Structure 1
């Protein structure tokens, strides 16, 4: 099985104890360093095993081998075809089809993206469990970012919290808009009368959605959306709130005659790749059902 090995060369401003190099400059957590020490990992300086107390100098090569990860016993790997948009040693980005949950639930224990990824890991001898950086509702299609080891998950999760990962969604909405673009700012809370449904409420959490109309087709619109916040059902609740529910979204008042699921697709993602040290942008083309309604859309 493959364990993850990462190498860095110490720069002028990064000299000092190995502990500070790893904690301050490379953002490895204290708990991760403990795991490396006691759970089968290695720290090497210029190829020699070292402790975190070793002093490092400019030009030194630092290698960190992370311990193998335990596969979650609660998920059975399942063979499935994955639409992989991007993959390297640290990150896997998959175009999830509609109808597939990201992780198993009490309502659907099999057929999740997580189980397909675990099978893919088994087939390719990747010793890791499923680390989702973002999740999509079962009936939402599009890009899901998956970290291939705990350290990558930690770094991308920090970007997620600081809103450095930017996602653009495409939604098929009922009706025509009076303005080409705008912002919906309305608090979202649980609907006390439902286990699933959310609602706009002054007592809810802050939620902000930006929208831009891309196409109109008859009485419907194809709209690009970006979120400042990540509340459950945020797009569905906000669009219904302004009178433009998603096509196929009967939970929030959308018509169901044109498409058999909520017309929502995670279209683009942009982020800084901390291991490649570069900005990246990727996109997943419209799936067949949305393409039939609105035609091709330029990325």
Structure 2
């Protein structure tokens, strides 16, 4: 299917695969967009078919031109502020940006303007767009790597749903203290808040379900390199889970890691995203952070 952005509209030229479907079924079943959004578009007659207000229940025909108002102007999720971050992937609907260790994913206070979200909004603003850019997930301040952002309201809804359904895969590299004996494993311990520390989490039988898969990649000088894949996205999940098996992330003072780095040596290396609006799967990798390469494991990333 051929698609193109025209101002605030996303224009789809219907092919034989989509012929016979209706606008109603595309919005509610294929894209599963929020009912409130769909209702607003219906009331505003914002969806056009061949340039005219559409009959939502009319079967689409090959070569029909369907226009959907994805790119309506809306307030940025954060105040646009330079510099622009390193952009790993971008299309009309989503952005994957590379977060350096030590930078917050998003502001926690109104006057914070030096987060990754601020930089992504600034990047989008340079193109003349004013869009409701939002982060779909987050990384801890000390964690580096790939973060997913939605560029419009429908993309945020669709990507958030995919994340909740565990259809977006996130892969991390972690340097941990000690020699991890198992070549691979799965940690399924529930995680809850630590009543004695405002920011720390702990293993708790009353906590939320958390699942982390890991694979040992290498061992060197008393440290192990693990590749981890998340099934769930609990706060500090990888940090808590690895500490719970006696191998805290190196540099992670909060969870007992050795102090060989200013930040935990945890890197979000890969995102695999089934694109909600394009019949494709997007895989994006973030270059391994220099702190991991230089300190221990340069030879494994060459």
* Both structures adopt the same fold (TM-score exceeding 0.5): yes
Partner of 2:286: 284
Aligned equivalents of 1:111, 1:24: Cα separation in 2 = 39
1:147-166 map, 5 Å: 147-166=150-169
Aligned equivalents of 2:37, 2:138: Cα separation in 1 = 24
Partner of 2:3: none
Partner of 1:203: 206
Aligned equivalents of 1:249, 1:130: Cα separation in 2 = 31
The answer as to 2:234 corresponding to 1:255 is: no
**Which of 47, 51, 67 is equivalent to 2:51?**
47
After superposition, the Cα gap between the structure-2 partners of 1:103 and 1:168, relative to the gap in structure 1 and judged at 3 Å, is same
Task: Give ranges in structure 1 of 5+ residues lacking alignment.
Answer: none
The answer as to 2:25 corresponding to 1:23 is: no
> Deviation string for 1:226-273 (max 9, x for gaps)?
1121111111111111110011110000011x2110111000111211
After superposition, the Cα gap between the structure-2 partners of 1:57 and 1:51, relative to the gap in structure 1 and judged at 3 Å, is closer
After superposition, the Cα gap between the structure-2 partners of 1:107 and 1:177, relative to the gap in structure 1 and judged at 3 Å, is farther
After superposing the two structures, state which structure 1 stretch, 14-23 or 136-145, moved more: 14-23
The answer as to 2:127 corresponding to 1:121 is: no
Contact 1:12 1:58 in 2 (8 A): no
Aligned equivalents of 2:39, 2:299: Cα separation in 1 = 50
TM-score by length of 1: 0.90
Matched length: 295
After superposition, the Cα gap between the structure-2 partners of 1:108 and 1:217, relative to the gap in structure 1 and judged at 3 Å, is farther
> Deviation string for 1:192-250 (max 9, x for gaps)?
11111111111211111111111111000111001121111111111111110011110
TM-score by length of 2: 0.89
The answer as to 2:107 corresponding to 1:104 is: yes
After superposition, the Cα gap between the structure-2 partners of 1:127 and 1:36, relative to the gap in structure 1 and judged at 3 Å, is farther
After superposition, the Cα gap between the structure-2 partners of 1:5 and 1:136, relative to the gap in structure 1 and judged at 3 Å, is same
Contact 1:15 1:58 in 2 (8 A): yes
Task: Give ranges in structure 2 of 5+ residues lacking alignment.
Answer: 1-5
Contact 2:11 2:65 in 1 (8 A): no
Aligned-residue offset at 1:37: 4.7
After superposition, the Cα gap between the structure-2 partners of 1:182 and 1:64, relative to the gap in structure 1 and judged at 3 Å, is same
Aligned-residue offset at 1:75: 3.5
Aligned equivalents of 2:93, 2:47: Cα separation in 1 = 19
Aligned-residue offset at 1:280: 2.4
Partner of 1:5: 10
**RMSD across aligned C-alpha pairs, in angstroms?**
2.4
Determine helix, strand or coil for the equivalent of 2:281.
strand
